Amino acid sequence: MWSVPGAFPGGPSRALLTQNEESVVQVFAAGTALAMFEGDFVTAVIERFATDDDREPGFFRFPSPTGRRDDRPLVVGGDAAVLLSDTDDARDLLHWLTDADTFAPWLRAGGFLAPNVLAHEAEHYHDDVQRLLAQELLTAGDDLRFDLSDLLAGPLGGGEGQGSWRILQDFFAAATRPGAARDEVVADVTRRLDDAAHSYTDTRGIDPRACG
Amino acid sequence: MPVADPAPPRLLGQTRLVPDVGPERRGRAYPRAATSVMLLAPAALVLGLFVAWPVLRIVVASVTDDDLGFVGLRHFRTALELHGAGTVIGRTLLWGALVPAVVTTLGFALAIVSRRGRTGRLATFVLVAPIALPLVVTGIVFRLVYDPDPARGPVSGSVGLSFLGPRLVTVALMSAFVWAWVGLALVVFRTALDRVRPELADAVLAHGGGRREVFLDARWRPVLRRTFAIVFALVALATVRSFDLILVMAPGSVLDEASVLGVLQWQTSEGTTTGPSAALGVIWLVIVILAVTGAAWWSRQKWPPPLLLTDDEVAAADDPTAAGMSPPAWRQATRRTVLLAASVLWLFPLAVLLGTAWQTPRDAAVSGWWHRPTSLESYRVALQGDDLWRSLLLTGALALVVACVVTGVALLAASAIAWTPTVPAQLAGFVLLGAAVVPVQVVAGPIDDVLRTLHLTDTTFGLGLVHVALGLPFAVLLLRNALSDVELDRLRRARLAGRREWEVVWNLAPSAVTTAIAVFVLEFVQVWNDFVVGLLFGGPNAAPLGVVLHGQSRQFVASSGALAASAVIASVVPLLLVLVVRRRIVSGLVSGALR
């Protein structure tokens, strides 16, 4: 898909210089692109740049690598609350944090989805897109996958341009280079990810088999 | 009626002071040891906590493990095996060699063509302005200039090159740095050139020398060689600050291609002291110390120092009514063309910034900075909410307090070491020079430990303390130079008139006023323009201007209108301050640099 000419405005090397909110600008303000791969939180940015006569943005779930319709995990990022000391006050706080009403102002502001069924029923959501996304979240069941890339440590972690970010970005650059040999590129990225994971488990004395 | 006595007023009634037998020495005026200790105490405390101990901690950590067991060079090997560490060290050295070479050469050439006339003064004004801007703002400016989208960035559009791409990003960063620093080199060279005695050139000509001999014997050897060395060293040390530029200007995907030691250190240490990051720090420290020693050797002063023109003589020579041969018309025309071209080139990035800020955020994201119609919408968005206001207030208060404290504490410390015997004074000078050049990223981990122990993490007070420690060494050096120039006679008089030591300091302070003002303004601007200290030691409760701007620049295009407006607002104070007192700053700086 990456190798399709015109898949990225300005070409793949330009795409690597595009920040995520700029891709929203490309779709909704500059009109140089038609679709983007983003999280639901960009709705707030869309609002800043879309004009009134623009159509409501649509969305679709990313196609499954296996091609089967029922095998499309919903990848989400989120926060988990953990009770470290079991006191009444702590329980109260946790209850409050997960209460449907607590979310209401956030839901109205947009850019936030609650896994709480009651919050969804309350229909506090900012717009239809958010409501549909929330519906998907509630019906995903076991297909829900947490993207823990923020929490990757050692040679795989790090911010922009580091760790696995760097490896995948080099993979993108290599794969979109004209005349790139597919097998070589895939073998290279697999090797680098393996090396990084091993050097991490080596330094920490973790048995890679134990990690699964 | 008694006739006015032309002799100086006598002290202590009729007793005439007779100088001691033997040559006059400053040693007659040494303060007592106990007083010196008291004057030095505040500076020593801050520098000990935030510079000396952290450096020691880093050196120890680089050769020991967590339990302080000796591990030899293991951490150094790990550090050098880090992905791309060798390249990063090489790139840091390239910054330290190439950028100062370009800045000194360009600054010297521009100093020569801008020496006389109104065009020269105007061009100087334009060229000096960028030095006052925070480097974060310079980064924002050049990211706009080199915008890879042809619809917004005419430079990339017309040349067809991706300046922010992996190949050229370092060139783009260096050009931004040169833009910011040439003004300083220009001003220092001009001051140096103005002070060369014209008789020297006449003497060389009279002995049959040509243009080459005039340059070498009347300009280069007496003054310029030393000035070149000092400017070169100053700019080379300043390339440590490329950190700010890189973090704002380089897109995340090319950060590796732009990275220098400061960035690598910041990425690997994550705010704590680890063995490999300490090893990297030690490598960096060694490089810096070698470079400073080299520069000191190169710029060593022959004794006696050359005779230079005084301020009054310079003013007289600059007088347009003064008789003199005017250069041929073609040369004047060439000079004027060069100056105009330089001014336009230097104004262009500022025009891009102002143009972007002058549009609605939507237009700034979609079309170029030349787009019409203009609007103040971006300024409104930038000042919306109280984020920017709060950080403006915080930064202003911090800069003011830090500048006052640094000037005061440095004045006390300088008066203690300005007249001490030679050996301890030289030792103090070396220690201060060393402390002045320690890159803050190297000692970030231990400084953080100190702040945590004092419960000052993420507080404005903690930030202020770190700023004071980082600003003190240079301030003390400058003030020491100014105070040690006080004439022996005045020093003695002050010692005799003052019953207590602080009265002596108070009596002598006026002679360092120009330098003290320079120190104050430099420190204020330094803190106002800071990014790295705020990033390393600040937090949500202590977020100065640079950190707030950097935060906004994470989504560059989507927020470039408001970001440009914030950048303009953030630049007004330092720009006005530096332009208003620039003469005092230069003479304060040069008084130390030329002697």
The interface predicted TM-score (ipTM) is 0.82
- The pLDDT assigned to B97 comes to 93
How much is the pLDDT for B133? 94
Burial track B461-472 (b if 16+ CB lie within 10 A, e otherwise) = ebbbbbbbbbbb
pLDDT tens digits, B170-208: 999 999 999 999 998 998 888 888 878 878 888 888 888
Chain B residues near residue A155 by CB distance under 8 angstroms: 83
Question: Are the beta carbons of A91 and A84 closer than 8 angstroms?
Answer: no
SS3 at position B286: helix
Architecture of domain B44-312+349-594: Orthogonal Bundle (1.10)
Q: Are residues A82 and A100 in the same domain?
A: yes
| pLDDT the model gives residue A50 | 80
Q: Which range (A32-46, B345-359, B468-482, B564-578) has the least confidence?
A: A32-46
pLDDT in the model for residue B568: 96
Chain A residue with CA closest to B366: the answer is: A30
Last residue of a domain, one of A59, A88, A105: A59
CA B449 to chain CA centroid, Å, is 27
Quick check: A19 and B148 CB within 8 A?
no
Is position A203 within any domain?
Answer: yes
Task: For residue A30, tell me if it sits in a domain.
Answer: yes
- Show the beta-strand stretches assigned E in B8-139: none
- B448: closest CA among B225, B255, B219, B271? B271
Give the model's pLDDT for residue A32.
86
Q: Residue A10's closest chain B neighbor by CA?
A: B149
Task: Print burial letters for A77-110: b (CB count within 10 Å at least 16), e (below 16).
Answer: eeeeeeeeeeeeeeeeeeeeeeebeebeeebeeb
How many domains is chain A built from?
A: 3
Report the pLDDT value the prediction gives residue A135, as an integer from 0 to 100.
82
pLDDT at B296 over 70: yes
Tell me whether residue A14 is in a domain: yes
Q: Quick check: A14 and B156 in contact, CB under 8 A?
A: no
Residues from chain A contacting residue B149 (CB–CB below 8 Å) = 10
Boundary (domain end) residue, out of A109, A128, A146: A146
Cβ B91 vs Cβ B81: under 8 Å = no
Asked if residue A164 has pLDDT above 50, the reply is yes
- Give Cα A175 distance to the centre of its chain: 21
- Whether A49 sits inside 8 A of B162 (CB atoms) is no
Phi, psi angle pair for B73, to nearest 5°: -100, 20
Tell me: do A49 and A89 sit in the same domain: no
pLDDT of residue B26: 46
The DSSP secondary structure of chain A, one letter per residue, reads -TTSTTSSTT-HHHHTT--HHHHHHHHHTS-S-S-----GGGHHHHHHH--TTSPPPP--PPPPTT--TT---EEE-------SS--HHHHHHHHHHH-HHHHHHHHHHSS-----HHHHHTT--SSHHHHHHHHHHHH-GGGEEE--GGG--GGG--STTSHHHHHHHHHHHHHHSTT--HHHHHHHHHHHHHHHHHHHHHHHT--HHHH-
> Model-level pTM?
0.87
Domain spans of chain B, in order of start: 44-312+349-594
pLDDT band at B426 (very low <50, low <70, confident <90, very high): confident
Nearest-Cα distance to chain B for A55, in Å, is 18
**Same-domain status, A139 and A88:** yes
A162 contacts in B (CB within 8 Å)?
A: 255-256, 267
Within a domain: A191: yes
Q: What is the mean pLDDT of chain B?
A: 84
Question: For an interface test with A, which of B66, B152, B156, B253 has the most A Cβ atoms less than 10 Å from its Cβ?
Answer: B253
Say if residue B446 is preceded by a cis peptide, omega within 30 of 0.
no
Minimal C-alpha gap between B363 and chain A (Å)? 9
| Helix residue ranges per DSSP H, B299-327 | 311-318
Per the structure, the complete domain to which residue A206 belongs is given by: 151-211
Same domain, A3 and A22: yes
Q: Is A55 within the bounds of a domain?
A: yes
